[in-house]
């Protein structure tokens, strides 16, 4: 079996998946942005990669490169790992007898009246669509995509990939040693609900020394307004984008993802759970598949700052509970969201499609 992988900038699970497929006897060629830091381990190991930077959903250079690869090699499958990769691969594979696999990791974006959707997810030549969660699979079914084309595969993780930063690393951001530290990794668009989280922390300010370590780019104007509130501004620590975000989250007492809607399945939550950090999440999308309420974390109604404050208080007052739920979360990743399962399911999908 021979597979062309088209990956863009990739993510950590994908960087581990590609050599794992090769180790299992799959002949793979990889097109990706070789400058992406996610692919540093592949580059260091000498894994063969061909540079391809996907600049748009219709990228003439990418289409030519993918088509040249498809015409010069007898691939059974072209597997695209994001929307840009899929749309360019579909155009590049026109008239070439190769099976096509795409990916969907978000909800709420698909419109049958949008012509561009027929270049990717809605293209009838797409043989399989990997759905990041059961929620995404249900969403695509509601859009009348055929059941047999939808394959649900979690983006598997391995706790061995991560080493939590020492608690002392948080001093760099001005966080006191005795603080209860909430971590959140998100590009702060309005849909992510970070203002709701800041509101929740404000409700606890007098009772508990709760601090928020927020990693990611700020794209929410309301956040700046909230940070003008002197009562809680000193409790909010913005770092901007950081490649060591998972390790920093590992030094926190709890992780919060306050998404308001359409969360397919948060890799940031999975990374925190890998390091034994309990998670507080909104009851949206795939979050309820990942977090077990009262065992690995807490699930709250989206957009409810009081419920979020109560969940934070729940952990702030009981260190042993934080530790127990953190261990349970790590075990859940190993049992139900593990990387080896992802590899097995991917290979079974390849076998079924050809």
pLDDT band at residue 217 using 50, 70 and 90 as cut-offs: confident
Q: Region 219-234: what's the mean pLDDT?
A: 70
Main-chain phi, psi angles of 302, to 5 degrees: -65, 140
Same domain, 343 and 326: no
Task: Indicate whether 219 pLDDT > 80.
Answer: no
Same domain, 168 and 148: no
Percent of the chain with pLDDT over 70: 96
CATH code, domain carrying 76: 3.40.50.2000
pLDDT band at residue 206 using 50, 70 and 90 as cut-offs: confident
Per-residue model confidence (pLDDT) at position 118 = 86
Same domain, 128 and 163: no
Residue 298, classed as helix, strand or coil, is strand
Question: Could you report the per-residue pLDDT of 251-271, keeping only the tens digit for each?
Answer: 999 999 999 988 899 999 999
User: Cα(235)–Cα(208) distance, rounded to whole angstroms?
Assistant: 11
Helix H segments across the chain? 12-23, 40-45, 60-72, 83-92, 134-142, 194-204, 221-227, 230-233, 245-249, 267-274, 287-290, 305-316, 319-336, 339-353
Same domain, 182 and 90: no
Same domain, 78 and 221: no
Q: Which residues pair with 213 in a beta bridge?
A: 183, 237
Residue 172: C-alpha distances to residues 104, 208, 213, 237, 287 (Å): 37, 21, 11, 10, 31
Same domain, 38 and 182: no
Q: Which helix (H) or strand (E) holds 128?
A: strand 128-131
Per-residue model confidence (pLDDT) at position 300 = 97
Q: Which residues pair with 184 in a beta bridge?
A: 214
Q: Region 44-48: what's the mean pLDDT?
A: 92
Q: Region 24-53: what's the mean pLDDT?
A: 94
DSSP state of 278: -
Per-residue model confidence (pLDDT) at position 108 = 82
Domain count, the chain: 2
Q: Give which of 301, 278, 302 is closest to 290, Cα–Cα.
A: 278
Percent of the chain with pLDDT over 90: 81
* Contacts by residues 219-222 (CB-CB < 8 Å, ≥ 24 positions apart): 219/187, 219/188, 219/189, 220/188, 220/189, 220/190, 220/192, 220/194, 220/195, 222/190, 222/195
Question: Could you report the per-residue pLDDT of 283-333, keeping only the tens digit for each?
Answer: 999 999 999 999 999 999 999 999 999 999 999 999 999 999 999 999 999
C-beta separation of 42 from 18 below 8 A: yes
The least confident of 37-51, 69-83, 133-147, 192-206 is: 192-206
Kindly write down the DSSP assignment for every residue of 142-162, as one continuous string.
HTT--GGGEEE----B-GGG-
Same domain, 193 and 306: yes
Per-residue model confidence (pLDDT) at position 102 = 97
Per-residue model confidence (pLDDT) at position 230 = 65
Per-residue model confidence (pLDDT) at position 220 = 65
Q: Give which of 176, 326, 322, 161 is closest to 244, Cα–Cα.
A: 161
Same domain, 114 and 259: no
Task: Indicate whether 146 pLDDT > 90.
Answer: yes
Same domain, 110 and 150: yes
C-beta separation of 6 from 52 below 8 A: yes
- Buried/exposed code over 203-234 (b: 16+ C-beta within 10 A; e: otherwise): bbeeebebbbbbbbebebeebeebeeeeebee
Same domain, 324 and 196: yes
What region does 170 belong to: left with phi over 0, alpha with psi -120 to 50, or beta? alpha
pLDDT band at residue 228 using 50, 70 and 90 as cut-offs: low
Q: Give which of 168, 313, 162 is closest to 245, Cα–Cα.
A: 162
Task: Indicate whether 229 pLDDT > 80.
Answer: no
DSSP state of 164: P
Largest CA distance in the chain: 67
Same domain, 269 and 329: yes
Q: Which domain holds residue 30?
A: 2-156+338-353
C-beta separation of 267 from 289 below 8 A: no
C-beta separation of 187 from 261 below 8 A: no
| Averaged pLDDT of the chain | 93
Does pTM top 0.85 for this prediction?
yes
What's the start-to-end Cα distance of the chain, in Å?
A: 9
Same domain, 330 and 349: no
Task: Indicate whether 226 pLDDT > 70.
Answer: no
């Amino acid at each position: 079996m021979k597979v062309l992988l088209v990956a863009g900038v990739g993510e950590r699970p994908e960087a581990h998946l590609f050599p794992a497929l090769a180790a299992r006897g799959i002949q793979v060629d990889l097109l990706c942005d070789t400058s992406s830091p996610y692919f540093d381990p592949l580059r260091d190991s000498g894994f063969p990669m061909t540079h391809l930077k996907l600049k748009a959903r219709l990228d003439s250079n990418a289409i030519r490169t993918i088509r040249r690869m498809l015409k010069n090699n007898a691939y059974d499958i072209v597997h695209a790992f994001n929307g840009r990769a899929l749309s360019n691969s579909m155009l590049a594979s026109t008239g070439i007898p190769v099976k096509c696999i795409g990916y969907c990791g978000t909800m709420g974006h698909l419109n049958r009246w949008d012509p561009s959707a027929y270049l990717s997810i809605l293209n009838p030549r797409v043989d399989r669509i990997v759905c990041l969660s059961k929620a995404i699979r249900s969403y695509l079914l509601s859009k009348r995509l055929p059941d047999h084309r939808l394959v649900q595969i979690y983006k598997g993780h391995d706790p061995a990939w991560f080493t939590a930063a020492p608690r002392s690393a948080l001093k760099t951001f001005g966080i006191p040693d005795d603080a209860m530290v909430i971590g959140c990794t998100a590009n702060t668009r309005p849909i992510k609900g970070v203002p709701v989280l800041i509101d929740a922390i404000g409700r606890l300010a007098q009772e508990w020394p709760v601090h928020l370590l927020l990693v990611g780019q700020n794209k929410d104007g309301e956040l700046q307004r909230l940070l003008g509130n002197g009562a809680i501004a000193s409790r909010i620590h913005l770092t901007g984008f950081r490649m060591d975000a998972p390790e920093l989250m590992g030094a926190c007492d709890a992780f919060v993802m306050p998404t308001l809607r359409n969360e397919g399945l948060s890799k940031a939550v999975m990374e925190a759970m890998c390091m034994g950090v309990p998670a507080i999440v909104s009851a949206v999308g795939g979050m309820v598949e990942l977090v077990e309420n009262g065992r690995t974390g807490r699930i709250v109604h989206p957009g409810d700052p009081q419920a979020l404050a109560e969940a934070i208080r729940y952990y702030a007052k009981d260190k042993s509970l934080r530790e127990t739920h953190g261990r349970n979360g790590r075990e859940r990743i190993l049992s139900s969201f593990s990387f080896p399962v992802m590899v097995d399911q991917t290979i079974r999908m390849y076998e079924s499609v050809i």
